[in-house]
Amino acid sequence: MRTLHSLRSPGASRLWVVLALLGVWEIAARGFVDKMFLSPPSRVFSSLDAVLRTPGVPEALVITLWELGAAFALSVALGLAIGLAVGLPRFSRRSFLPIVLLLYGMPQITILPLFILYFGIGPASKIAFGVSHGVFPVIVTVAAGVQNVKPILLLAARSMGASRAQVFRRVILPHMIPSFFAGMRFAMSATLLGVLLAELYVSSAGIGHFTTLFTQNLDPTRLLGLVALLAAMAIVLNGIVRRAEVKTGRFRSA
């Protein structure tokens, strides 16, 4: 195994695995599956610009990105406020955190039609559904972060005469930061899921409109191109939040 290790780096093998998968896809699409339903990767990637030139697609991507941003910002702000309110006082933590966890455990997808009914088929329903997914991880991690402050630190701060506001600002808040950023990472993937679910369910102008359109037109090339663009967008967004989390983690331990 050692010789293998020195011969080929894992990164290179990883590349080969990806290329092999693309190769299988290419062969399957060319030889075995009707081209009405599957398109080979070579054609998908060479027609990415055709997807972007489809009237309405750039706007739809911007709308979806905007929905995501709004849902994420709202999730974080609401989650932080509720998380602090639920997590800080011991009594409310014991009383309300179980209720939050109960709601978090429910499959929200079952009430998606209600969101459309209340907020319409435009961006508002996507943002609301995204928030319904993103807010819970923030609440739970913020409440957990507040809870994990070492009692000795609180005691020390109080005995040195810190006011409640000072304890909050100087002790609790800095200690909460790492779990808050972990919560933001969970919130990002959850918001992505919520917004995309709502988009796919019904959409007037977002990307869901075009995934439906390309599916109904039996246009797998453009459908796959759009899916690839969205997947890339998701990877970038998740990467940004993860990097922010790593950075703050290092800042804390330093």
Partner 1 sequence: MAGRPEGSAGAVIASRAVQIGFLISAVALWHLATVRGSVSPLLLPRPDAVLRELIDVLATGEFLGDLGVTLGELAAAFALSAAGGLAAGYLISRSRYWIEVFEPLLAGAYSIPIILFLPLYILLFGLGPASKIALGATISFFPIAMNTIAGFGSVEKIHIVAARSMGCSQYQLFRRVLVPAALPVIATGLRMGFTVALLAILGSETISSLSGLGHRIVHLAENMHMARMFAYIAFAVAIAVVLNVVATLLEERGKRS
Rule CB under 8 A: say whether 196 interacts with partner 1.
Answer: yes
CB 96 within 8 A of CB 159: no
For residue 237, what are its two tokens? 């967004």
User: Per CB under 8 A, which region of 32-40, 79-87, 174-182, 246-254 contacts partner 1?
Assistant: 32-40
* Residue 72 or 214 with smaller CB distance to partner 1: 214
How far, CA to CA in Å, does 78 sit from each of 73, 99, 136, 205? Answer: 8, 16, 9, 27
203-232: which residues touch partner 1 (CB under 8 A)?
Answer: 211-212, 214-215, 218, 220, 223-224, 227, 230-231
Q: Which of 18, 19, 101, 246 binds partner 1 (CB under 8 A)?
A: 18
Least spacing, CB of residue 30 vs partner 1, in Å: 15
Residues near partner 1 (CB under 8 A), total:
54
Least spacing, CB of residue 184 vs partner 1, in Å: 14
**Helix axes 207-216 and 220-253, enclosed angle (nearest 10):** 150
* Angle of CA points 225, 228, 234, to nearest 5°: 145
For residue 220, which amino acid is it? P
Q: Which of 112, 127, 139, 157 binds partner 1 (CB under 8 A)?
A: 112
CB 202 within 8 A of CB 115: no
Nearest alpha-carbon partner for 80 in 91, 88, 68: 88
Three-class DSSP category at 131 = helix
For residue 132, what are its two tokens? 């319904």
User: Per CB under 8 A, which region of 57-65, 104-112, 119-127, 165-173 contacts partner 1?
Assistant: 104-112
Tokens 């290790």 identify what position? Answer: 5
* Residue 7 or 254 with smaller CB distance to partner 1: 7
* Residue 162 or 200 with smaller CB distance to partner 1: 200
Distance CA 173, CA 148 (A): 11
Tell me which residues touch partner 1 (CB under 8 A). Answer: 1, 4-5, 10, 13-14, 17-18, 33, 37-38, 90-91, 94-96, 98-99, 105-107, 109-114, 116-118, 151, 154-155, 189, 192-193, 196-197, 200-201, 211-212, 214-215, 218, 220, 223-224, 227, 230-231, 234-235, 238
